[in-house]
């Protein structure tokens, strides 16, 4: 059986659930350098 690894909210990408770097938060208090729509497009390749 595969080993189950629990990951916290800040340990995975909130868009694709990858644990690979780089990870950037979706919701920041600061103004984002990259708009959320661009992050979604880049991560998920939605067209």
11-32: pLDDT as tens digits: 777 777 777 877 766 666 566 6
Q: What is the dihedral of CA 9, 17, 6, 2, to 10 degrees?
A: 180
DSSP one-letter string for 8-38: -TTTS-TTT---SSP---SS-SSPPSS-HHH
Please determine, for residue 33, whether its predicted confidence score (pLDDT) is greater than 80: no
């Amino acid at each position: 059986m595969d080993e189950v690894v629990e990951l916290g909210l800040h340990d995975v990408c909130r868009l694709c659930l990858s644990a690979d770097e780089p990870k950037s938060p979706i919701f920041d208090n600061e103004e984002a350098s990259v708009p959320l729509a661009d992050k979604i497009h880049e991560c998920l390749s939605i067209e």
